[in-house]
Structure 1
Amino acid sequence: MNQTTRDPAVETHGNFIDGKEIEAGNGTFIDVLNPATGMVIARIPNSTPSDIDRAMKSARAAFEGREWGGMDIRARARLVNRLADAFEANLETLYRLETLNNGRPLNETRAQLSRLPDFFRYFAGLAIARRDDVIPVEGPYLNYTLRTPIGVVANCTPFNHPLMIMCKSLAAVLASGCTTVVKPSEYTPLTTLKLAEIFVEAGLPKGVFNVVLGYGAEAGRFLAEHPDINKLVLTGGTEAGRIAGSAAAKVFAHQTLELGGKTPVMVFDDFDVDQAVNYAAFGAFIGAGQTCVCGSRHLVQESIYDAFVEKLAAKARSIRIGNPFDPETQLGPVISARQRERVLTYSQLGREAGARAVAGGDIANVPGFEGGYFVQPTVFADVKADMRVFQEEVFGPFTSVTPFKDEAEALRLANDSPFGLGAAIRTRDVARAHRVAAGVKAGIVWVNDHHRLDPASPWGGVGESGIGREFGLESFNDHFNVKSVMVATADKPFDWYSATATQTRLN
């Protein structure tokens, strides 16, 4: 991605602050490319600290202002539901813009984005259903809690699922009464900007949802370091999480960090091999494998291992790669030339380590799209736990297969990783499914499925996969500060110092 001066022949965007797009301050621009063609489709600014500060001031003013900050809970819930309706009314535009910007096949994009309006409806429901607690305590006291929105949420989002990952945070932000400044990936800013415009047109007060643009290492860092943030949400690599999380910790901001992953998929021999292969292809290659819960380590019981490897290789070779806007396309490009090179590098590492390439491992040639960043769906077999392709996140259409003898070895291999975001189990043995789900180190476990989520179900990882949870009550509640109120209900005189020796309780 190049940093350039402005070219009037290409659409240029500014930051979205205080309800409208505005120019950023430094006058330099970043090319936004269509990964299917390598062509420039837009330019965006690389925001400066003063640009970030302007957005933060807008968010803070909205949070403290009467129009948003003083809005009744039920009125806010009704507004969030109207935003969901506006989102739904613009889905066709958003489908096409996201496919253009990140290269996912239109069918995939449509299937994912059509779920997102319900994220907002779910959290709007939580806002209405919210209750504070009355806590029974010893003595003549009434103790209750009050929850108040925490304030301004800084959200750094990735390129792989631009709208979906952003909306996981945004829905809770809006329903709780917080405000936000979002820094989308420099690769995929277009649908985030469009949604901000849609929401303001639908009645969202200005300053509640701001968007700042630029490189993660610069604009993203400036945002995470801003002294006025109350919560940091970041989805990205583990190292980025360490840097941003350390910065936000200096101001004691709440944090939700979804970081890297190396999802183990344990396939037991009581599960149908053909069905296991279909799930494996879906888990490994959906979104061109550019997802933190990509099924990247398949652990397969020895008795079905050879059949699984043969069938998965054949399945990978059958996947149709091509124009993301063609309804027949099943796999689009990776996001950039840099990401394509990363996948090819790991293919070479796998070969050098002695693993067996049974499918893919090279550039995919797509006639008419020679400038695009296409990679063949890649499968390596006979992968050992000490190989880099077993231990490190590739983030592309790349998966490995490793044999195991029994349940104990499957769990040992699955847990042989610093990551702990997703895990999957394929078995028809109900007791085994529950045992393995309890024993695997992961924040999300799928039994006989993959990639499924719901706004009511908490989402997040352990270890180097991050901290905190999105979705569910866990996410909603983390957007509030909790205040405990203790009320003395006894109507009698009190003077500690009149009879100190006879007092029996201090607190």
Structure 2
Amino acid sequence: MNISAKHSAIEVEVHGNFVDGREIEAGAGQMLDIRNPATGDVIARIPNSTTEDIDRAMKSARAAFEGKAWGGMDTRSRARLVNHLADAFEANLDTLYRLETLNNGRPVNETRAQLSRLPDFFRYFAGLALARRDSVIPVEGSYLNYTLRTPIGIVANCTPFNHPLMIMCKSLAAVLASGCVTVVKPSEYTPLTTLKLAQIFTEAGLPPGVFNVVLGLGQSAGKMLAEHGDINKLVLTGGTEAGRIAGGAAAKVFAHQTMELGGKTPVMVFDDYDVDQAVNYAVFGAFIGAGQTCVCASRHIVQASIYDEFVEKLKAKTLSIRIGDPFDPTTQLGPVISARQRDRVLSYSQYGREDGARLVTGGVAARVPGHENGFFVQPTVFADVKSDMRIFQEEVFGPFTSVTPFKDEADALRLANDSPFGLAAAIRTRDVGRAHRVASAVKAGIVWINDHHRLDPASPWGGVDDSGIGREFGTESFDDHFNTKSVMVATHDQPFDWYRDTATQRRLN
């Protein structure tokens, strides 16, 4: 249910949770403001869900999972429906990417390009559903052994603010194609496109209760969802500490877990690679999405022989980036999500200066005419950064990158692996042997050679160490939405009586 009210001369939508196929009116509890990060204006209000709200969504999900409309649907019918949902998504792209730009501040060209990929996520997993085969396993003796896979049930999904729809759809596509159901808790900063997609999919024929949305703060609504006794799988994208808390709660009910957590991506640039091309990738990797990505190119590790040239060209390229209104098609960098995040990014500029790094450019808030209350930060580059500095070790999550020189391949790997994180890494070289050696040795779940930030629904996505566990995308993600049942069938008709023939038995099992 959408209710409109006037707030500071701006029309503010009041939203409730989306449960059992419809948006329900917000209760009388705490309400949260949703702001446009480009202006600071309140654009919507949402409830901070209570225990009763979470329970209601979970009951709806369980009823859908066990009901005939969804739980009784055969695989081919489900795959056709998922493909139909992809078509419905595509038909509403214009509405969705504009709403996402309004809600999270990414330039409209970025959101259009990113969201246009998402329908194919659903088509890929619909294809996996059709292609799925269970196994027949050769075993000793006269037995037929085969497996049956059954959907695990309710997937609780806590999503972040930086890529609201894209990250949610990485999970949702596999959920729907596998026959599971979901309760999604989007970021309290960016819930609007998730609510809109739930409405679109319901109108396109998705049965009620399959895709529920609960709103609220991560530390309350998200925590209650993660520790709910009826979840069967937890998917979370967020900070490492949030992952530890949520993962510990979900472990108490032995739920499957997939978590994409923090990152501090090293980019190793060798001197046989074109410097101009390396710089082009550097600004893309560091500043796309205002640097608010877990795979942000936040640590550039550059061979000493090209280090000075790289830094000067990176400075020039960074200074050319156009900061402005996200709805202006010429804008190349929008705001960060909130005043709190802006202040966090600026605090790391102070840490860099205090620790002796050289500020190349940026390091301050950006002023955008007509958007004086927006949360803009100038893209920031620090050079001469050492591995013991905070800006080398800690995730900033903003338009912020550092540059560190290295001597040789071993030194590059030492610096790249000097991190608690292990989500992504990138390598810039024309030496084929080196590329594969370094890719094998670097600590990361994702490696790009002469590219950055590329993904595909067929390619597994996830990290190691403090960057999380499990994988999204690919057959790895699809398979983790099932419980595997082993069925052993005796194909012989030999008599059996253990307690009569115990002395002559050669084996117990």
TM-score by length of 2: 0.98
- Give distance in 2, aligned partners of 1:29 and 1:50: 16
For residues 302-336 of structure 1, the C-alpha deviation after alignment (integer angstroms, 9 at most, x for no partner) is 00000000000111111000000001000000000
Match of 1:199 in 2: 201
| Aligned amino acid, residue 338 of structure 2 | S
For residues 37-72 of structure 1, the C-alpha deviation after alignment (integer angstroms, 9 at most, x for no partner) is 000000000000110000000000000001100000
- Equivalent pair of 1:262/1:391 in contact (CA under 8 Å): yes
Given candidates 188, 191, 203, the residue that maps to 1:189 is 191
- Equivalent pair of 2:15/2:26 in contact (CA under 8 Å): no
For residues 180-211 of structure 1, the C-alpha deviation after alignment (integer angstroms, 9 at most, x for no partner) is 00000000000000000000000000000000
Structural mapping, 1:91-110, within 5 Å: 91-110=93-112
Match of 2:409 in 1: 407
Given candidates 374, 384, 387, the residue that maps to 1:385 is 387
Match of 1:324 in 2: 326
- Give distance in 2, aligned partners of 1:126 and 1:485: 23
- Equivalent pair of 1:256/1:466 in contact (CA under 8 Å): yes
For residues 68-116 of structure 1, the C-alpha deviation after alignment (integer angstroms, 9 at most, x for no partner) is 0000000000000000000000000001000000000000001100000
Given candidates 240, 243, 247, the residue that maps to 1:241 is 243
1:125 counterpart = 2:127: yes
Match of 1:361 in 2: 363
Shift of 1:25: 3.6
Shift of 1:495: 1.2
Shift of 1:142: 0.3
Match of 1:483 in 2: 485
- Equivalent pair of 2:174/2:477 in contact (CA under 8 Å): yes
- Give distance in 2, aligned partners of 1:250 and 1:491: 44
Match of 1:145 in 2: 147
| Aligned amino acid, residue 294 of structure 1 | C
Instruction: Give SS of 2:340's match.
Output: helix
| Aligned amino acid, residue 360 of structure 1 | G
Given candidates 447, 456, 460, the residue that maps to 1:458 is 460
- Give distance in 2, aligned partners of 1:494 and 1:231: 41
1:272 counterpart = 2:252: no
- Give distance in 2, aligned partners of 1:316 and 1:336: 22
For residues 273-315 of structure 1, the C-alpha deviation after alignment (integer angstroms, 9 at most, x for no partner) is 0000000000000000000000000000000000000000111
Match of 1:376 in 2: 378
TM-score by length of 1: 0.98
1:290 counterpart = 2:303: no
For residues 237-263 of structure 1, the C-alpha deviation after alignment (integer angstroms, 9 at most, x for no partner) is 000001100000000000001000000
- Give distance in 1, aligned partners of 2:38 and 2:464: 34
- Give distance in 2, aligned partners of 1:23 and 1:231: 28
- Equivalent pair of 2:34/2:43 in contact (CA under 8 Å): yes
- Relative to structure 1, the CA distance from residue 222 to residue 26 in structure 2 (aligned partners, 3 Å threshold; closer, same or farther) is farther
Shift of 1:499: 1.6
List, as ranges, runs of 4+ consecutive aligned residues in structure 1 with deviation greater than 2 Å.
Answer: 6-9, 23-28
Q: Percent identity?
A: 84
Match of 1:418 in 2: 420
- Equivalent pair of 1:321/1:329 in contact (CA under 8 Å): yes
Match of 2:214 in 1: 212
Structure 2: runs of 5+ lacking an equivalent: none
- Give distance in 2, aligned partners of 1:7 and 1:490: 77
Instruction: Give SS of 1:75's match.
Output: helix
- Equivalent pair of 1:324/1:331 in contact (CA under 8 Å): yes
The two structures, once aligned, show a CA RMSD in angstroms of: 0.8
- Give distance in 1, aligned partners of 2:59 and 2:28: 19
| Aligned amino acid, residue 164 of structure 1 | M
Shift of 1:491: 1.4
Shift of 1:7: 6.5
| Aligned amino acid, residue 433 of structure 2 | A
Match of 1:254 in 2: 256
- Give distance in 2, aligned partners of 1:99 and 1:68: 33
Instruction: Give SS of 2:43's match.
Output: strand
Instruction: Give SS of 1:496's match.
Output: coil
Instruction: Give SS of 1:483's match.
Output: strand
Match of 1:3 in 2: none
- Give distance in 2, aligned partners of 1:399 and 1:327: 25
Shift of 1:24: 3.8
- Equivalent pair of 1:456/1:472 in contact (CA under 8 Å): yes
- Equivalent pair of 1:183/1:219 in contact (CA under 8 Å): yes
- Give distance in 2, aligned partners of 1:344 and 1:374: 11
